[in-house]
A = this chain, B = another copy of it.
Amino acid sequence: MEKSALQQARKAYLPKLPEALKGYVKVKEGAPTNSVDNQEEIKKLFPNTYGMPIVEFEPSDVEAGQAMNVGVILSGGQAPGGHNVITGLFDTIKKMNPDNKLYGFILGPGGLVDHKYMEITADFIDDYRNTGGFDMIGSGRTKLEKVEQFEKGIEIVRELGIKALVIIGGDDSNTNACVLAEYYAAKNYGVQVIGCPKTIDGDLKNSQIETSFGFDTATKTYSELIGNIERDCNSARKYWHFIKLMGRSASHIALECALQCQPNICLVSEEIKAKNMTLNQIVENICEVISYRAKQGNNFGVILVPEGLIEFIPSIGKLIEELNDLLAAHGNDYKGLDPVAQREYIMAHLSEENKQTFATLPDNVARQLSLDRDPHGNVQVSLIETEKLLSDMCAAKLAQWKAEGKYTGKFSALHHFFGYEGRCAAPSNFDADYCYALGTSAAHLIANGKTGYMAIVKNTTAPTSEWKAGGVPITMMMNMERRNGEMKPVIRKALVELDGKPFKEFEMQRDHWAKETCYIYPGPIQYWGPSEVCDRPTRTLALEQE
């Protein structure tokens, strides 16, 4: 593997560990726990893994470590630091006993089911220390949900003498990890399952998990780019940049980038839903800012748009729901029609309220909603180019205002979508340390016989040596939610809280940012250099933990 100068140099970085994880470790157990909601249902569904205590690691003179093989799985979308979870896990189990083996299942959970794996060796792993990506063993989106999968899994687990599986994933993957832990416990298979909180989206956090790994690096990478665009914008002074940011449902990424870069506008899906705003209201709000700035001679600006926006606009959410139901019920009648007839068919069958919403949409979006469907017949919301939709609608609204004499500026828009640019960036010092500590914690949870736990690291705004490490029962984070028409136990997803400190901070400043030009240019992630540059946590984490 040919390497860049940065890869070479970064390979030598030794992740900093919390004091408690530096040597031998013992477990301190807290009181029994309860799930965040629906305690009775969750307890019934997880009789073997419910109610376990939170555990914290403390330094010890004796090693609980033992001979054990471990399997590791990367699940779902990439997040910077995944490789360091694996290196932390590897180094720790090897320290416990050099004969311990770590197996990586290839291309995600599917590797467990299909028995595709490799042994991770010292030589092999060294090339991946402090690197981004999930290419060490690959990732995948197969969901571990079915008994047949669990049973296929146990075959290879037994064959390799694996004591425990570590599943590195987001909320859904960790929910499934817990279901698997419960199943193996119920069957007395003697195999443990441990989860790790991964996702750049930042929506896997709660009283026990301060942040999911990857959020730090990804938002810093996006903020680098947004800052660069802001500086370009403020130099050329002639474009409005509409920047869509990955992050699925939650707006944490957009909000964090806004706090780092101070753009003129940042839409927050959760607020739009809470205020029951229409698409037209959102566009009018944006146009008010564009118009205000035009009066100051500033025909330029930067707008951040969270990926999940469109589904959070209540009227569009309702429209999409009815469209999905309508076409599920009448898909065959509809499929044979030509595009014009399809549109007429939709207009004829929609409820009055949704028909009105449909009529306000620009042609290309209406077409996308009525034509392009995924294999299950659902609208492909992620294909809607929200950043262009908004700028087109703003252009139309501003033209109307111009005709009415309400606006006299120039409006020229450019579009960007950032996602893939940050998911595999080389982890920041924070993510490199955080992930290595998570992997180390996972090893100790295994050595201490735990299953159905997620590895956690807390106190992460303090210096690394003061971080606290341990584990939390996954059932503790669960509640019951409707998924595909059925009530399921799932880890509660963390959306942006409108009374949380990050949003409050943003809300307090945004009018000023809209009117003035208050851009901040964070620049690229630095691995060496002043600590205030290299080791600062995200604004979200700093505000939430202060």
Contacts and interface: CB of A to CB of B under 8 A. Distances in A.
Contacts of A414: 420
Contact of A520 (B2, B139, B416, B527): B2
A131 interface: yes
Interface string A17-51: 00000000000000000000000000000000000
Contacts of A451: none
A120 interface: no
A281 interface: no
Given A4-B523, A420-B414, A235 B131 contact: no
B424 A228 contact: yes
Contacts of A420: 228-229, 232, 241, 414, 416
B221 A133 contact: no
Contacts of A7: 520-521, 523
Contacts of A234: 133, 135
Contact of A426 (B262, B521, B527): B521
Interface stretch (A271-279, A309-317, A476-484, A529-537): A529-537
A426 B135 CA distance: 30
B3 A231 contact: no
A225 interface: yes
Given A520-B2, A521-B132, A523-B10, A424 B529 contact: no
Contact of A227 (B4, B77, B525): B4
A524 B235 contact: no
Nearest to A223: B4
A63 interface: no
A9 interface: yes
A422 interface: yes
Nearest to A107: B237
A423 interface: yes
A359 interface: no
B526 A526 contact: yes
A352 to B, nearest CB: 34
Given A414-B420, A422-B228, A527-B529, A262 B132 contact: no
Shortest 8 CB-CB contacts between residues of A and residues of B: A528-B529, A524-B524, A6-B523, A133-B231, A231-B424, A134-B235, A232-B424, A4-B522
27 contacts: A3-B521, A4-B522, A5-B532, A5-B536, A6-B521, A8-B532, A9-B530, A78-B231, A78-B232, A107-B237, A131-B231, A132-B231, A132-B521, A133-B234, A133-B521, A138-B237, A139-B236, A224-B425, A225-B225, A228-B422, A228-B425, A232-B420, A241-B420, A414-B420, A425-B523, A426-B521, A426-B523
Interface of A: 2-10, 77-78, 107, 131-135, 138-139, 221, 224-225, 227-229, 231-232, 234-237, 241, 260, 262, 414, 416, 420-426, 518, 520-530, 532-533, 536
